[in-house]
Amino acid sequence: MAIRTPAASPTQTALAPRIHPLAQVHGQVMVDPGATLAPGVTVQADPNATVRLGSASVLQEGTTVYGRTQGRVLGDDRVSYAVWVGDRAFLAYKVLVQSPVYIGPDCFIGFRSTLYNARLGAGCVVMMHALVQDVAVPPGKLVPSGAVITQQHQADSLPDVSPGDRALVNELSETSGVATPTARREPTSSASSYRAADSNERDGFGTMTSQLLPPDVVQRARQYLAQGLTIGTEHADSRRYRSGVWQTCSPIQSNRESEVMAALEACLSEHAGEYVRMFGIDPRAKQRVAPITIQRADGKPVAANGSSSIAAPSSHGGYRPAPASPSSGGSSSSGPLSPEVVQQVRQYLSQGYRIGTEHADARRYSSNVWQTCSPIQSSREGEVFGALERCLSEHSGEYVRLFGIDPQAKRRIAPITIQRPDGRPVSVGSPSGSSSSSSYASAGSHGGSAKASGDVAQQVRQWLNQGFHVGAEHADARRYNSNVWQSCTPIGSTREGEVMAAINTCIAEHPNEYVRVFGIDPKAKRRVSAVTVQRPGSKAAPVGSSGPSYSAPASSPASSNGSAPMGGLSQDLVQQVNQLVNQGYRLSLEHADVRRYRSGAWQTGGALEGNRTSDVLAALESQLRNHSGQYVRLIGIDPKVKKRVLEATIQRP
- Each residue's pLDDT tens digit, 292-339: 888 888 777 664 443 333 333 333 334 444 443 333 333 333 345 777
The answer on 265 and 174 residing in a single domain is no
Q: Assess whether 408 and 364 both reside in one domain.
A: yes
- Yes or no: say if 257 and 291 are a contact pair by the CB < 8 Å rule: no
- Is 275 part of a structural domain of the chain? yes
Edge-first strand order for the sheet with 411-419 is 371-372, 354-360, 399-406, 411-419
Q: How many domains does the chain have?
A: 5
Is 223 found in the same domain as 189? no
Strand partners, 91: 59, 109
User: Is residue 20 included in any domain, yes or no?
Assistant: yes
Dump pLDDT digits (tens) for 596-618: 887 778 888 878 887 777 888 88
Measured between its terminal Cα atoms, the distance across the chain in Å is: 86
**Residue, of 226 and 251, whose pLDDT is higher:** 251
Answer whether residue 68 is part of any domain.
yes
For 406-442, give the DSSP string. ETTTTEEEEEEEEE-TT-----BTB-TT-SS------
pLDDT at residue 161, rounded to an integer: 92
Which of 546, 616, 614 lies closest to 586 in space, CA to CA?
Answer: 616
In this prediction, residue 58 has a pLDDT band, given cuts at 50, 70 and 90, of: very high
Same domain, 238 and 310: yes
pTM: 0.35
Give percent of the chain with pLDDT exceeding 90.
Answer: 17
Residue 639 and residue 588 in contact, taking contact as beta carbons nearer than 8 Å: no
Average pLDDT of span 53-78: 91
186 lies in the same domain as 268? no
Q: How confident is the model at residue 354 (pLDDT cuts 50, 70, 90)?
A: confident
499 pLDDT above the threshold of 60: yes
Cα separations in angstroms, 624 against 123, 550, 576, 621:
63, 11, 16, 5
Residues 86 and 189 placed together within one structural domain of the fold:
yes
533-541 contact pairs (CB < 8 A, 24+):
533/449, 533/450, 533/453, 533/456, 533/503, 533/507, 534/507, 534/510, 535/449, 536/476, 536/477, 536/512, 537/512, 540/453, 540/507, 540/515, 541/452, 541/453
- Which residues does 358 contact at the CB level (< 8 Å), separation at least 6? 370, 371, 372, 373, 400, 401, 402, 403, 415
Task: For residues 258 and 346, state if they share a domain.
Answer: no
Claim to verify: residue 345 and residue 299 sit in the same structural domain: no
pLDDT tens track for 70-100? 888 989 888 899 999 999 999 999 999 999 9
Is 148 domain-assigned?
Answer: yes
Q: Which domain holds residue 461?
A: 453-534
Instruction: Give the pLDDT confidence score for residue 305 in this predicted structure.
Output: 41
CATH number for the domain including 258? Answer: 3.30.190.10
- Residue 483, in any domain of the structure: yes
Residue 444: the pLDDT is 35
**Which DSSP symbol is given to 520?**
E
Same domain flag for 137 and 78: yes
For residue 167, is it within any domain? yes
Q: So what's the pLDDT on residue 437?
A: 31
91 and 33 in one domain?
yes
Average pLDDT rounded to a whole number, residues 344-369: 81
| Main-chain phi, psi angles of 208, to 5 degrees | -65, 140
**Is 549 inside a domain boundary?**
no
Mark whether 7 and 144 lie in a shared domain. yes
Q: Do both 472 and 359 map to the same domain?
A: no
Mean pLDDT computed over 251-259 = 83
Q: Would residue 555 count as lying in a domain? A: no
Strand pairing class (247-248; 148-149): unpaired
Q: Which helix (H) or strand (E) holds 328?
A: none
Residue 445 has pLDDT above 70, yes or no: no
pLDDT of residue 384: 85
